[in-house]
Amino acid sequence: MAYILGEREFWGLPFKVSPAVLVPRPDSETLIEVALRLLPDRRGAWRVLDLGVGSGCLLLALLHEYPAAQGVGLELSPEALAIAQANARALHIDNRVDLILGDWRPAGWERTLAGPFDLVVSNPPYIEAGAIDRLMPEVARFEPKLALDGGLDGLAAYRCIAAAAPALVAPGGVLLAEAGEGQATEISRIFRDVGLRVQGPFKDLTGINRVVVATH
């Protein structure tokens, strides 16, 4: 329905969507809530990075809440990046955000992002590759596989993010990663293995451990 209408509300804001991006979901609003709890200064001139920006819902909602912040969004899909750019313009945040076409898989990718950042967020692909076809039909048939496919065990993206985190997260900064059901424990281990301190996880409204928090 969101693709038919071309729009979906997230965090009280309207976001343009297309089949190039995941439809924003209430589960992901947990990440915004956790960010506001951990960085309570709404006037802070934070530097915010969103890895896998998609529609821009996470990054742009955070910049809406932090009017002095500057944001960077990394996205592999040109079509998704165009949607995020359109949303930034519609929300009048385009002057505070730099949306970049890029890939987190090659070695050294993090050096292109001019870090470190006070807040790094990500809702990466976390579905096991072999399980995508068994998802609900409205997801498996219509939402972009690039934004769903997390590799053989669903955790490939988290390993890439963890390896780059020491360079991307400023001392005292925070990394927030959305997790699929049952994944929070293993994601926490991946983050600890690179020397990050892990908090949480934080539950969404359905009681699922949805957001893993790591600090540098």
Nearest to 76 by CA among 58, 98, 53: 53
Domains of the chain: total = 1
Q: Does the structure show a pLDDT above 70 at 89?
A: yes
Are residues 214 and 198 in contact, defined by beta-carbon separation less than 8 angstroms? yes
Residue 99's pLDDT is: 98
Domain CATH for 175: 3.40.50.150
Q: How many CB atoms lie within 10 A of CB 12?
A: 8
Domain housing 188: 2-215
Beta bridge partners of 74: 51, 100
Longest Cα–Cα distance in the chain: 44
Q: Flag whether the pTM goes above 0.95.
A: no
Structure tokens at 154: 């669903």
Mean of pLDDT over the chain: 91
The model's confidence at residue 198, banded by pLDDT at 50, 70 and 90, is very high
The model's confidence at residue 150, banded by pLDDT at 50, 70 and 90, is low
Are residues 143 and 24 in contact, defined by beta-carbon separation less than 8 angstroms? no
Structure tokens at 209: 């451990």
Higher-pLDDT residue of 125 and 9 is 9
